Structure 1
Amino acid sequence: MRLRAALDRDGSVSHLDSMKKRGLLTVASAATVMTLGGVGYAARRRGKNPYYQGPKSDHFDGLRFHAPDQPPDKDLSDLARWRMKGTREAWPHSFPSPFPPDKPPQRVEGFRVVLIGHASYLFQIAGRNILVDPVFSRRASPVRFAGPKRVNPPGIVYGDLPPIDAVLITHNHFDHLDGPVMARLWQDHQPLIVAPLGNDAILRSYDDTMHVETRDWGGTVDLGGGITAHLTPAHHWSARGLNDRRMALWCAFLLTTPRGVHYHVGDTGLGDGAIFREIRARFGPPRLATLPIGAYEPRWFMQPQHMNPADAVEAFSLLGADQALGHHWGTFRLTDEGIERPVEALAEALTATGLPAARFLALRPGQVWEG
């Protein structure tokens, strides 16, 4: 079965067809996971991985992936503790960006970045157009009628996208992998699609003609134009349903380009900082780091998988990057902090470390950075 998507007037995409039942959430259980926006709980162990069958490694046990020293999965009691005892700040129904939707040029020979919203970007580098984790749907959810709803339209109207050469997917949570939009992008642009192990099966469930290049951590893919995508570790996890936790791999991306090194993280915890030190040791200080700064409260629940702004500033310092851009805030309500708390906390963290505010910008949809 293929899934179709339609454009709404604001340039977002609505789901039209019902999703495949296999591997997806029931409506009742979906409400919990969708409310968490990708923060689920430990599923009971199943004997077969529906997405990936491959050799065991230091981060794959034959059924599930794991990061070194990964803490135990949260369970239902942890989830109940958070939901019953947490203090959730209110969000507005609408939080419009001060920037109008961007109309990108067809090609850029330099380095141009625009935030589409949440964790979705268009990177225009050395004549190539690269989307990362493109989400245009109204909800970060497997269904139209429930789950986190966007409070601002996409920072690029879908129809204004330039020709897309490549799409990078960091992991399979619904706020990062928008299946119907990926199917539409495939039909409209035939891009090179790159994702971590196991995500090809998920993507092809939306269009069985889709070709996906999958790699393990440490793998590389040539994106053309002198750009290489390196898949690197992140402290996170994956799930599309209740019984597939960590059955597909997740990653960050390091892009080596004619315009310098660009390091992009969709989601990660800070951990002990080793993943950032290793990036700097291997590739040198990045010219640009795009880092998540939102979805971090309560810390006892979120810390292993989501950085807060202070963590993101520490990661920026460990990387030694020239410039950082912050995302993963202000579009989908996923956790307890208020909608503007990430920006406030980022400013405090930069002041505390003596870094100029201009070196780490919290982007809004439609906002452009050129360097």
Structure 2
Amino acid sequence: MPRNPYYAGPLSDHFDGTRFFVPGERPKTNRFSDFLKWRFASRHGPKWPVTFPSPARDKPPARVEGADLRVSFIGHASFLLQTQGLNLLLDPVFSERVSPFRSVGPKRVNPPGIALEDLPEIDAILVTHNHYDHLDLPTLSQLAGCRVLSPLGNETIMRTHDARIRAEAHDWGARISIGNEVFIHFEPCYHWSARGLSDRRMALWAAFVIETPAGKIYHIGDTAYGRGEIFRAMRVKHGPFRLALVPIGAYEPRWFMREHHVDPEEAVRIFQDCGAAYGLAHHWGTFHLTDEAIDEPPKRLAVALERAGVAPGHFQVKRPGEVFKVPLE
């Protein structure tokens, strides 16, 4: 049995003593040979542009008070969320590449929608899991001093890199106060974790529910759709959401990616399953991770939303630096 370098804790319905898993779901079965088959295939879909700049650049206010909810899209899966006088960073990635290497790996095609120096004072950072496009250690080092909340095992990765990172880790089902009557819930999703070739599923992954006096926000960093049970369960547990942040990209080829990431049609199903009043798309258009064209996800999403009868404006797509001021219904 391999040793888990990140976490040692009691067995549970989603931890076998070495690896984490989703109860009732078979572990992701793609083998490294499948990855090589995909990466060395003769065709990889349309070529991405070297640059895909956004027309926007946000300079957020110091605070947003009360029930107002201001969400700035930084890029990929990174957001600045401002409400109730608190500033939250979600999966912040400001590095040029999402890779264990400085000069190899997926490179940004647009800059972050907020410059690092333009960020307001941050009250908490939420990190969903340890893949390089979500857990960016150089960024967290630059933000050292901020409170960082993540699922079990990820705090070891952060502290080993930089002891100044104020990392704490919690299990699925935890409800953590961050002040001003705002709480963070750690919830499951259909995904996995790894930083290398031998640590698959040795740190936990999570979606977050952000509970505020003016409604709840559902942030999903990465997920497959599976049978959809988790998303319907979130609606039952937390009630309809004011806002859901849902991934729409990095889904082709489906034979390889369907157990890791949703496509736009599945993103619409998640939006409807969880009962969100509004949705905001992410996980597209910044890092070239998979085979779809750079602008395909929002185009497919628009078609899927129309077919599903979702009212215009209720599931939005933003470019980095653009802001969604979420209505209170």
Q: TM-score, normalised by structure 1?
A: 0.85
Give 1:83 deviation, angstroms. 2.2
Q: Does 1:247 align with 2:202?
A: yes
Indicate whether 1:78 and 2:40 are aligned.
no
Over residues 58-84 of structure 1, what are the superposed CA-to-partner deviations in whole Å (9 max), with x where a residue is unaligned? 111111111121344211221122223
Matching residue of 2:184: 229
Instruction: Report whether the alignment pairs 1:150 with 2:105.
Output: no
Q: Residue in 2 aligned with 1:125?
A: 83
Matches within 5 A, 1:116-265: 116-186=74-144, 190-265=145-220
Cα deviation for residue 115 of structure 1 reads 0.7
Cα distance change of structure 1 residues 72 and 180 upon mapping to structure 2, 3 Å threshold:
closer
Instruction: Give 2:49's aligned residue.
Output: 92
| Corresponding position of 1:300 | 255
3-state SS, counterpart of residue 14 of structure 2: coil
Structure 2 distance, partners of 1:162, 1:119, is 19
Paired residue for 2:20? Answer: 65
Which residue of 315, 319, 322 corresponds with 1:364?
319
Does the CA-based 8 Å contact 1:71-1:304 persist in structure 2?
Answer: no
CA distance in structure 1 between the aligned counterparts of 2:254 and 2:317, rounded to whole angstroms: 20
Q: Deviations over 1:211-258 (max 9, x none)?
A: 322111101211111110000001011111111111000000001102
Aligned mates of 1:79, 1:283 — CA distance in 2: 37
Query: Which runs of no fewer than 5 residues in structure 1 stay unpaired?
Result: 1-45
Question: 1:330-369 counterparts in 2 under 5 A?
Answer: 330-369=285-324
TM-score (norm 2): 0.95
Letter in 2 for 1:335: T
Deviation at 1:344, TM superposition (A): 0.8
Letter in 2 for 1:75: R
**What's the offset of the Cα at 1:362?**
1.6
Contact 2:141–2:164 (Cα < 8 Å) also in 1: no
CA 1:72/1:178 → structure 2, altered by over 3 Å: closer, same or farther? closer
Deviation at 1:355, TM superposition (A): 1.3
Q: Any unmatched runs of 5+ in structure 2? A: none
What amino acid maps onto 1:327 in structure 2?
Answer: H
Q: 1:313 to 1:156 in 2, by over 3 A?
A: same
Shift of 1:322: 0.5
Q: Distance in 1 between matches of 2:10 and 2:304?
A: 42
Distance 2:100 2:173 in 1: 30
Q: Tell me if structure 2 keeps the 8 A contact 1:192–1:223.
A: no
Matches within 5 A, 1:4-23: none
Q: Following the alignment from structure 2 to structure 1, what is the Cα–Cα distance between the partners of residues 209 and 243?
A: 10
Cα contact 2:28–2:259 (8 A) shared by 1: no
Partner AA of 2:90 in structure 1: V
User: CA contact under 8 A between 1:347 and 1:357: conserved in structure 2?
Assistant: no
| Shift of residue 210, structure 1, vs aligned partner | 2.6
The residue number in structure 2 matching 1:111 is: 69
Matched letter for residue 99 of structure 2: S
Paired amino acid for 1:231: F
SS where residue 357 of structure 1 aligns? coil
How many residues are aligned here?
322
Indicate which of 212, 229, 241 corresponds to 1:286: 241
Identity of aligned residues (%): 53
